[in-house]
Structure 1
Amino acid sequence: MQTTAMRGHTELARGLRLHADGPVHDAYASLSLARSELGEQPGAALIATLAAVNAAWSAGDHVACVEALTTALGQAALDGAPRDYLTGMLALLHGRTSEAAGPLRRVVRGALAGHDPEALLRGAAAALLTGDVQDGCRAGARALAAARAADDPALVARATEYVAYAELRAGRHAQAREHALTGLRAAEQSRRANTAAHHHAVLALTAAVQGPSGDVVDHATTALATAGRHGLTQPVTLAEWALARTELVEGRPADAASRLVSLLASAEGAHFALRGLVLPTLVEAAVGAGDHATGRAALPELARWSRTASDPQGPALLLRCRALLCSTEAEADALFREAHAAHLEAGGRFESAVTFLLHGRRLGRHGRPSDARERLRDALLLFERGGADPWADRTRTELRAAEAAGATSVPDVLTGLTPHQLRIARRVAAGETNREIAERLSVSVRTVDCHLRNIFVLLGIRSRVELALQVPPSTGAAAQ
C-alpha cells in the first residue's frame, strides 16, 4: 500500500513528465497534488511547488498562477531566492509592478553570483519579467553553459528556451534563431514536446523578420499543433504573432488584423504576459487596413503595458502607435520623432527600423517625398544590418515610390560621393552633430568622423560651414 509520501513522489514524476510532454493543465493538477502530499519533505515539495507555478504559467491561466503562487508562499520552508521569485511574480500578476522589482532583481543578482543552472534559469525568468533582457540573456547563457558541461539535453532544451526568447526580446533575431535551433534538437532528443513547440514558435518569429515566409508557416503550424493539444498559450501567441507579421510585410494588413483580433479576443488565445508584445502589430495592421477604430481600441491596454517596464521598447512602441492613429500631420510627425528618440534610448534595431519605415511611408503619402526618403533610408540601413530581408524589400518598394514622387537631384559637386557619404553630408549641412548622426545611422562616432574627413578631401573643403554651402537647403536633410 502506497504511503502519502510515495503517492506524492508518483504525482511529482507524473506532473514533471506531463509538463515536458503532455497537457499542462493535467501537469498542474498532478504537481499541485504532489505538493500537498509531500508536506513532510520540504525539498521535494519545493520542486513540486515551483513546477506547478511553471505549469500554470505555460497554460496562461492567470487564476491558476495566482492560486499556485499564493499557496506556495504559504509554505514555511520557502525562503531565499525561491520566495523572492514567487513574491515578485505574484506582485506582477496583481499589477503591483513597483513591489515586484526588488524581489525579482535580488533573484537575478543571486543567480548571476553563482553557477547553479536551476537558479540561473530562475534568474533568467525574473530578468525577463522585469524587462531586463540583457541580464535575461546572461543568466540563460550561463545556464546553457552548465547544461552543456553536464551533457544534459533536457537542461539544454530548457536553457535555450530562455536564451532564445531573451535574444528575441532584445531584437537579436539571428542569435535567437541559432539558440532555438539548438534547443529544438535538444528538446526532440530529450522528448520535451512542449519545449520543442516553444522553439518552433520562436523560429517562426525569427523567420517573420528574416525570412523566408515558408519557414514562418512551417514552424508556426508545428508549434500550433502541439500547443493546441497540450494547452500551451505561449507558443500559440508567438506563432500567431509571427503569421500576422508575415501577412503584414506581404501587404495583407486586413488578414493580419483579423488574425490578431481573434487571438486577443479568445479566452484561450494570447498569453496574458505576451499580449502587450502583440498589440503594436495589431495597431499597425488595423491602420494599414483602414480600420482606425480597432487600432484606437487597442491603445488603452498598450498604454498600461508600456508603463509596466516589462519591455524596454514599450514607450517607443506606444508613441509609434499613437503617431499612426493621429489625424493631423504635425502631431503625427512630432510623435514619430519622440518614438525615434525612445528607440535610441531602449536599443533594438528591428523595432527602430519599423518605426522609420512607418514614418517614411506616412510622409510619402502626405506629399513630403524628400523627408520620406530620409526616413526610409534609415529604415533600409537598419533592416539590412539586421538581416531582415522581407522588411528591407518592403522598404525598397516604399523608397522607390518616394523617389518617383519627386526626388531632388544631387548637385554636380556631390556626385562623387558614395550614397553613405552623401547622407552624412546632408545631415551635417542640416546642423546635426557627429554623435547625432552616429546614433541615427547606428554607427560609431569614429566612423562618422572618418567619412566626414573623406568628404572634405573629395570636395576640397575644410569645414562644416563650407560643406553646408555645397549642399543647398533643398537637398539637405530636414532637422529631425
Structure 2
Amino acid sequence: MTPSTTGQASRRLSGRVGELALLAKMLDRLAAGHGSTLVLTGPPGLGRSALARHTAENHRAGPVLHTAAAPAEQWLPYSGLHALLCSAPDALPLPVRPADVLRSGLAPAALLDLLTALGARRPLLVCVDDIHSWDPRSRAALTFAARRLTPSAAVAVLLTATDGRGGAEELAGLPALRLGPLDRAAADDLLTHLTGCHIGAAVREQLRREAAGNPRLLVSLAHHLTPQHLAGRQPLPHPLPGGEDLLDAYAAPLAALPDDTRALLLLAAAAEEHEPEGAGADTGLLLRAGRLAGIGPGRITPAESAGVLRGAGSRLRFTHQLTRRAVLRTAPLGRRRAAHRLLAAALEGPDHALPRLVQRACAADGYAPDLADALALAAVAPTPHTDRAGALARAAALSPDETLRATRFAAAAEHAWLAGEPGRARVLLARVRAEPAPGHAHYVRGLLALRDGPAADAGQALLTAAALLAPHDTVRTVHALLGAAEAAWAAGDAHGCLDAITRVPASPDDPAFDHYRTGIRALLTGRPGEGEALLRGYAARVLGRSAASRPGAGTGGDPAPLLRAGIAALLLGEVDLSCRAGARALAAVRAHGPDASLPQALEHLAYGELRAGRHARARVHAHEGLAAADRLGQRNAAAHLHAVLALAASVEGDARTCAAHAEAARADAGPHGLLHATTLADWAVARAELAVGRSAEAATLLAPLVGPGPRPGHFVSRMALVPCFVEAAALSGRGADARAAVEAYAAWSARTADPHAPAHLARCRALLAPDTEAAARYEEALAHHDRSGGDFERARTQLLYGHWLRRRRRPRAARTPLRDALASFERCGALLWTDRVRGELRAAGEPAPARPAHTPATAAPLLLLTPQQQRVARCVAEGATNREVARRLSVSTRTVDHHLRNVFAALGVRSRTELARLLAGPEPW
C-alpha cells in the first residue's frame, strides 16, 4: 500500500451518512440564500477535517473561505483571520487587505459587516478547521460574527474543534454536532476500502479493536502493515505501529496537568489492564495505590476538571479510550512497570488474586514461567470468561515453551468465544504458532466456523480436533463431535451427521446422554421405534433434572442438555415439550451463560413455537435472537433466525417481510452450505405464495424439497413441508405428483407425536380424494384440529373445505367454514390469508366484512375480484399470454378469456397495458 493510495483512501467518509446529509442540507439552504452556523466537535482523528474539506469542495453556489488553524501561530494576534482572508479566491474582491488585518486587527463588528457584504454578492461558505488552535482574538471575532449573522445573509459558517480545548467559551451556544467513533460496519467498510479483500478476519478484528472506532488511527495502522501482515501470513508486530502522532494529540492536553495528577492518570490507565474493556478503574484501588506512591486523593480533581477522567459511582473512566492508550504509550517503560507493581501491591486479599497476578504480569520483564503457571491456575470458574481469556493470554505470553504457549492461547481463544467475542478469539488463535497446532486450536476454529462459516469447514475442523483431543480431553472430544454432527445436520448431510454421532464415546457418568447419542443414531439408521423411545426418555430425564434444580439452572447451569432435549422433542413431534425445554435453556443461558449460546437458545425456542402454532411469540424470540447473532458475529445463526422470521411472516400475512427475511437467510445460508436454513426459507416463500393463491408457483418451489432429486430439501424438514406441497399441487392441477408424498407422510405420521400430523394427513387426503370421500376427509381433519388446537392450521383446513364446497356449487354450505376461517385468520393476524377467504366468501355470494383500516391501499383493486380472477389478473399483468396463463393455472384458454373479460369489467380497464399499470404498485403480498 503506497502513501498516496492511503491518502486517497483516508478521505473515504465511512459511517458518516447522517453527518453528510446534515452538511448537504446546510449547503442546499445556502445555495437558496439561507445562511446557518454549525460547529463539528469531537476528539482528534474522527474525521472533522475530512467533513469540513468535503463540505468546502461541494459548495459550488459561491465562494469559499477555508483555512485550517496553525497551532504555531496561536499567540500571534489576528493570525487566524489573516489566514482566512488569504484563502479568498482571486475573483472575490475584499474591501480590506489581509496584511492590514495582521498589522492592526479587525473588530468583530467589522468582520460581521465584511461577511454580510460578501454573502450579499453570492452565497458564501466560511470554513475553519480546528478553530480551537486559532489565536484568541481571531476566534472571538469570528464567533461574534457567527452569532449575529442572520439566515438572510447567505453566509454559512462551519467550524471544527476538538473536545475540551481552548475556545470552548467562545463556541458555547453555537449549534454543534459531536462526532462519535465509527461502528463495526463502518470500520469494516473503511478497512475494505483501504486493503481490498486481502485482509484476514483476525487481522481485521485486531485493527478494529486497536483503532477503537477512530478512522484516522485505522488508516495509519493499516498503512504500516505489509500485505503479508494484512493477509495473516505473518504475525502482527506488538505493539502495532502507526498512530503515534494521533496518540500524541490525545496526550498533549495532559502536559499542563500537575505531575502527581499525571502519575494518577498512569495508575488509572494501568488499572484497566485487569478490567473488562470500557469498565474503567476502581477509585478505591487508585487511592490505595496513590497512597503507596505518596500521592494524596485530591490530585484526581485536576484531571476531572480538564475533562480527561469522569467519575461514575465507584469507577473512574477516561473520557476517550485513546487517551488511556496514549497515557500508557507515552509513559517510559520503567514508569509503566512501576505503576503496575504499585497496583499489584494495592490489590490485597484472596478476592483480588487474579487482578493481582495480571498486574504482576504487566510489570514482568521477559518470560516468567512461574507467574504464567499461577495465572493459568487462577483462570477458573466462577471468573467470567472474558477475564479468563485475558489471564490465559497473558500466561501464554509469559510462557517460554512454544507448545505450552500455543495451548494457552487456544484456551484463551475458547473463553473469548464463550464470552461472545469471536473477533478477539480469532486474534488469539492467530498467535498460535506451534506446528502442528494443538487440537484445542482446531476445536476453537471449528466452533467459530460453526457459527460463522461454511458448515463443511466447521465439521472438518471439529473432526480433526476430536481426533487430536481424544487421548487426553474427553469432554472437548465429545463437544467437538457433537459440533461436527450439528454442522452436518445444518448442511443436510445425514451420513456426515451419523458418522460424527457414531464417534461420540459413551459416558459412564451420564447414562441420559447415552440415550440421546444412541437415539439419534437409531433414527439416522432407520430404526425409528428404538430411536424415539430413547429420545423420549432422554428429554424426560433432562427436564426432570431441570425442574428439580433451581430455576433456569438446567443441569448444573449448562444449557446444552436442555437444548438437546428440545431437539429430541422436536424430532419426536412433541412440540410443547420442545418449547418447555427451549424456555428453560434460554433461562439457563441468561442466568449462567455462555453468551455465545444465546442466539441458539432463542432460535430453538422460536422454531418450537412456530411448530406449536404460536407465531407471534416465535417472531418476538427470533427478533431477539437475530439481534444477538448480529452483535456476536454469528451469521449462521442469523441465517436460521431469518428463516424462522420468514416462516412467521408467511403465517402473519406479510409477504414482503417474508421475502426479505427469506432472501437474507439465503444470502449466508447458500455460501455456507446451510441446507436447513434454505429449506425453511423456501418453505416460507411457498406458503406466502399459497396465501395469495399462487398455488402453481408454490408447488414448483416445494416439489424438489419433498421428494428425491438433485435439489432435495433438508432430511428432517421434508415431512413438515408435505402438507403445503399437497395443497399447492392439488390446487394447481398436479394432484398426481402429490400422492407419493402423502403416502410417505402417512407412514411418518403413524410414528410421530406431532399433534397436528393427523389433521394434516386428513386434509392432504381430502385434497386428493374423489368427491364422494372429500367431505368426510375434511370433517375428519377438522375433528383432529379440535383435539390438537391451533387457529391457523384449522383455518387453512376450513378455507380449503369452503373452497371445495363452493366449487361443487354448494355456496350456502361453503359459507359456514369460510366464515370460521375468516375469524380464525383474523385472530392470527394473517392479513393476506384473510384476503383469500374474503374472495372465497364473495364468490360464495356473501359480502365479505370490510378490511381493517391499516390494510395497504394497493390491495384495493384485487379485492374486487374472485380468487381465480386475481390469479388471472396477476399473470396477465406480468406479461403472460392467455395460453401461458392457461398452462400455468391448469385451465383452458377459453376459461382464461372468460375470466379476463370479467376482470376488465370489474376494474374498469380496457387493455392489458392498463391492467399492468393498475397492478404495478407495490403489492401487499
SS of structure 1 residue aligned to 2:755: coil
Q: Residue 483 of structure 2: which of 31, 51, 56 is its match?
A: 51
Alpha-carbon distance between aligned partners in 2 of 1:106 and 1:37, rounded to the nearest angstrom? 32
| Pair 1:247-2:247 in alignment | no
Over 3 Å counting, the alpha-carbon distance change for 1:5 and 1:80 in structure 2 is farther
Distance 1:5 1:169 in 2: 46
1:110 aligned partner, one-letter code:
R
Specify the alignment match of 1:189 in structure 2.
Answer: 631
Determine the C-alpha separation between the residues in 1 that align with 2:500 and 2:540.
25
Deviation at residue 375 of structure 1 after TM alignment: 0.9
The answer for the alignment partner of 1:179 in structure 2 is 621
Match for 1:117: what amino acid?
P
Q: Distance in 1 between matches of 2:710 and 2:503?
A: 24
Q: CA deviation at 1:187?
A: 0.7
Q: 2:765 is paired with a residue of what secondary structure?
A: helix
Q: Does 1:400 align with 2:855?
A: no
Q: Is the contact between residue 31 and residue 49 of structure 1 (CA under 8 Å) also seen in structure 2?
A: yes
Alpha carbons 1:46, 1:78 under 8 Å: kept: no
Distance 1:183 1:201 in 2: 12
The one-letter code matched in structure 2 to 1:97 is P
Paired amino acid for 1:351: E
Matched with 1:67 is: 499
- Contact 2:575 2:612 (C-alpha < 8 Å) held by counterparts: yes
Counterpart of 1:475? none
Query: Shift in Å at residue 212 of structure 1?
Result: 1.6
Q: 1:269 to 1:118 in 2, by over 3 A?
A: same
Q: Does residue 99 of the first structure (1) align with residue 530 of the second (2)?
A: yes
Is contact 2:507–2:513 with CA below 8 Å preserved after alignment?
no
The CA deviation string for residues 262-310 of structure 1, in whole angstroms up to 9 with x for no partner, is 3345545411000011111111111111112212232222222222315
Give how far 1:203 is off. 0.4
Please report how far the alpha carbon of residue 26 of structure 1 lies from its aligned counterpart in structure 2 after TM superposition.
1.1
Say what the alpha-carbon RMSD is for the aligned residues: 2.0
Structure 1 unaligned segments of length 5 or more: list them.
406-480
- What is the match of residue 455 of structure 1? none
> Secondary structure of the residue that 2:438 maps to in structure 1?
helix
State the shift of 1:195 in Å: 0.6
> Superposition pairs for residues 201-220 of structure 1, below 5 Å?
201-220=643-662
Cα contact 1:363–1:371 (8 A) shared by 2: yes
Cα 1:266–1:32, aligned 2, differ >3 Å: closer, same or farther? same
Distance 2:763 2:509 in 1: 43
2:740 match: secondary structure? helix
1:316–1:340 contact (8 Å) kept in structure 2: yes
Aligned to 1:20: 451
In the alignment, what sits opposite 1:199?
641
Letter of the 1:24 counterpart:
A
Tell me how far 1:211 sits from its aligned partner. Answer: 2.6
CA distance in 2, matches of 1:339, 1:314: 10
1:135 and 1:76 map into 2 onto residues whose CA distance is 25
Given that 2:519 and 2:535 are in contact with CA atoms closer than 8 Å, whether structure 1 keeps it comes out as yes
Q: Which amino acid aligns with 1:58?
A: A
Aligned mates of 1:205, 1:280 — CA distance in 2? 15
1:373 pairs with 2:805: no
Distance 1:135 1:4, change over 3 A: farther
Consecutive unaligned residues in structure 2, runs of 5 or more: 1-401, 404-433, 547-553, 848-925
Identity of aligned residues (%): 47
After superposition, give the CA deviation of every residue in 1:335-366 in whole Å (9 maximum; x if it has no partner).
11111111222222211111111011101110
Deviates more, 1:295-304 or 1:382-391: 295-304
Q: CA deviation at 1:152?
A: 4.7
Letter of the structure 2 residue corresponding to residue 194 of structure 1: N
Which residue number corresponds to residue 830 of structure 2?
388
Which residue of 2 is the match for residue 10 of structure 1?
441
SS class of match (2:834): helix
Query: Which position in structure 2 is the counterpart of 1:229?
Result: 671
Equivalent residue for 2:788, pick from 346, 357, 374 = 346
Residue 738 of structure 2: aligned partner: 295
Measured in 1, the distance between the counterparts of 2:763 and 2:662 equals: 27
Relative distance call for 1:167 and 1:69 in structure 2 (3 A) is same
Match of 1:84 in 2: 515
Q: Report the Cα offset of residue 94 of structure 1.
A: 2.4
Cα separation, 1, equivalents of 2:737 and 2:564: 37
Matched residues in 2 for 1:199 and 1:355: separation? Answer: 28
Equivalent residue of 1:290, what SS? coil
1:319 to 762, 776, 780: 762
User: In the TM superposition, what is the alpha-carbon distance from 1:322 to its structure 2 partner?
Assistant: 0.8
Q: How much does 1:75 deviate?
A: 4.6
SS in 2 for 1:273: coil
The answer to whether the Cα contact below 8 Å between 2:442 and 2:464 also exists between their aligned partners in 1 is yes
CA contact (8 A) 2:705 2:718 kept: no
Query: What are the superposed Cα offsets for residues 199-240 of structure 1, whole Å, 9 maximum, x if unpaired?
Result: 000100110111321101100001011110111111111100
Answer yes or no: is the 8 Å Cα contact 1:128–1:310 preserved in 2.
Answer: no
Residue 151 of structure 1 and its aligned partner are, at CA, apart by 6.1
Q: 1:341 to 1:5 in 2, by over 3 A?
A: farther
Amino acid at match of 2:457: D
Tell me, in whole angstroms, the C-alpha distance in 1 between the residues paired with 2:478 and 2:525: 23
* Counterpart Cα distance in 2 of 1:17 and 1:246: 34
Q: Distance in 2 between matches of 1:310 and 1:237?
A: 22
Amino acid at match of 2:484: A
Match of 2:344 in 1: none
**Kept after mapping to 2: 8 A contact 1:153/1:186:** no
Question: How big is the shift at 1:244?
Answer: 0.6
For residues 120 and 175 of structure 1, the distance between their equivalents in structure 2, rounded to whole angstroms, comes to: 20
User: Retained in 1: the 8 A contact 2:539–2:569?
Assistant: yes
| Code of the aligned partner of 1:66 | L
Aligned partner of 2:728 in structure 1 is 285
Distance 1:17 1:259, change over 3 A: same
Aligned match of 2:919: none
TM-score using structure 2 length:
0.42
Which residue identity does 2:582 align to in structure 1?
G
- 1:117 paired with 2:559, answer yes
Q: Aligned-pair distance for 1:4?
A: 10
Aligned to 1:471: none
Is contact 2:704-2:713 (8 Å) kept?
no
Task: Quote the offset at 1:249 in angstroms.
Answer: 1.3
What is the DSSP-based 3-state SS (H/G/I as helix, E as strand, rest coil) of the residue aligned with 1:137? Answer: helix
Larger % of helix: which?
1
Partner of 1:403: helix, strand, or coil? coil
**Amino acid in the other structure paired with 1:241:** W
| CA–CA separation in structure 1 for the residues paired with 2:494 and 2:536 | 22
- Counterpart of 2:465 (choices 29, 34, 45) is 34
- Which residue number corresponds to residue 330 of structure 1? 772
The answer (yes or no) to whether the contact 1:153–1:187 under 8 Å persists in 2 is no
2:839 is paired with a residue whose SS is: helix
Say which one has the larger Rg.
Answer: 2
Alpha-carbon spacing, 1:375–1:305, altered in 2? closer, same or farther (3 Å): same
Paired amino acid for 1:54:
E
Amino acid at match of 2:568: A
Opposite residue 519 of structure 2, the aligned amino acid is G
Normalising by the residue count of structure 1, what TM-score does the alignment of the two structures yield?
0.80
Contact 1:177/1:206, CA 8 A, preserved across alignment: yes
Cα separation, 2, equivalents of 1:313 and 1:199: 23
When residues 189 and 153 of structure 1 are mapped into structure 2, their CA distance, relative to the original with a 3 A threshold, is: farther
Q: Secondary structure at the match of 1:343?
A: helix
Q: Is the 8 A contact 2:639 2:668 kept in 1?
A: yes
For this pair of structures, how many residues does the alignment match? 403
